[in-house]
Amino acid sequence: MPVAPQSIPDVEGYIRSLLRNVPGAVYRCDVDAAFTMRVLGDEIERMTGYPARDFIANARRTFESIIHPDDRATVHREVHEALAADEPYALEYRIVTASGDVRWILDRGLRACDATGRGCLDGIIFDITPRRLAEDARLRSEAAAARAAELEASRARIVAAADEARRRIERDLHDGAQQRLVTASIALRLAERNLTDAPVDAVMLLARARRQLDAGLEELRELARGIHPAVLTDRGLPAALRALADRATVPVLIDCGLSERLAPDVECTLYYCAAEAITNVARHAQATQVEVRLRRDHRMVALEIADDGTGGARFDGGSGLGGLEDRLAVVGGTLAVDSAPGRGTLLRAAVPAA
């Protein structure tokens, strides 16, 4: 049975229902600079704060007037490019609402003709502000993460360069100035032994010069070890920790459960953590003993320095712990301190083994 054609009122009712229920503002507008609206859905009021009637035939304002000033030229250009190619357009741009807020919309449309054959644009406008804000937040987050990663990489390069500079200075001191001073000290010893018939004053002067030279040589060796100990480069962290313990002014016990070499930057970091901690104990803790424990599992390397001193160490107490924490962070490590007053201090540095 044939279906009777719909009457004009029924079609108009269908269009009105469509305009109310589509999740966007359906429109028909003229192809002109103002985008003069002929039909516009009520959803536009939620987006812009202006009722649809304000835009119909430009009664109170043109639609073009609410497009963000920085986007107007782009909107006009892209609409006319689509029309020239006889293709639909899909534009994302900003509008300025009645309250002055800026919102993002997606405008989809195409060329059409009305019943009289007059050209127009038919389309629909969607509010995409939440999606654009989420995208902007994601991009900002990614940019911040990229900046943080570059900062971390830059900091690691700076520390690596400083460590390499220390190694180079230590080699230069060892191969240059120290060797010359050692040679001079040996020559003075030989001269002192051979001058058996020399005046006593001459022998005393030679002996005094030799003692001063030996003292200066020892200071130079200590300086070279402080810059970068050769034993750390040649034999690794456990040997360097034992050498550190031998020179300490407080008894230091070494308990090492590490049998293999670590990455150079990790070895340097843990060595200087131990050196700084032992120096702090000797200067401030009034301890009778320090224990240094070194362990590794499949994921982490842990260095613990424990003393039986006065305790009370804090990151903000000028103890250098903040600097150690920063240095550990460069190699992905962490620093923890347990230092109750009167109960000694336990410092634990943990660094990824890989």
Nearest C-alpha neighbor of 277 from the set 267, 292, 262, 288: 292
Q: How many residues does the chain have?
A: 354
Q: Per CATH, which fold does 229-354 belong to?
A: Heat Shock Protein 90 (3.30.565)
Instruction: Decide if pLDDT at 55 tops 90.
Output: yes
- Among the residues of the chain, which ranges form H helices? 8-21, 43-48, 72-84, 129-172, 178-194, 200-227, 230-235, 237-247, 264-280, 321-330
Q: Can you tell me the distance from the alpha carbon of 293 to that of 303, in angstroms, rounded to the nearest whole number?
A: 6
Other Cβ atoms less than 10 A from the Cβ of 31: the count is: 15
The top-level CATH class assigned to 8-127 is alpha beta
Backbone phi and psi for residue 337, each to the nearest 5 degrees, phi listed first? -130, 130
Nearest C-alpha neighbor of 266 from the set 230, 303, 292, 293: 303
How many CA atoms are closer than 13 Å to the CA of 93, on its beta-carbon side? 24
Domain regions of the chain by residue span: 8-127, 152-228, 229-354
Q: Is the pTM of this model over 0.85?
A: no
- What's the whole-number average pLDDT of the chain? 82
89-127 pLDDT, tens per residue?
999 999 999 999 999 999 999 999 988 889 999 999 999
What's the confidence (pLDDT) of residue 280? 87
Backbone phi and psi for residue 32, each to the nearest 5 degrees, phi listed first? -145, 175
133-158 pLDDT, tens per residue?
888 888 888 888 887 777 777 666 66
Helix axes 200-227, 129-172, angle to 10 degrees: 160
Mean per-residue pLDDT, 15-20? 63
Q: Can you tell me the distance from the alpha carbon of 279 to that of 317, in angstroms, rounded to the nearest whole number?
A: 15
Mean per-residue pLDDT, 48-62? 95
Q: Are 93 and 105 in contact (CB under 8 A)?
A: yes
The reply to whether 229-354 shares the fold of 8-127 is no
How far does the chain reach from its first CA to its final CA, in angstroms? 80
Share of the chain above pLDDT 70, in %: 75
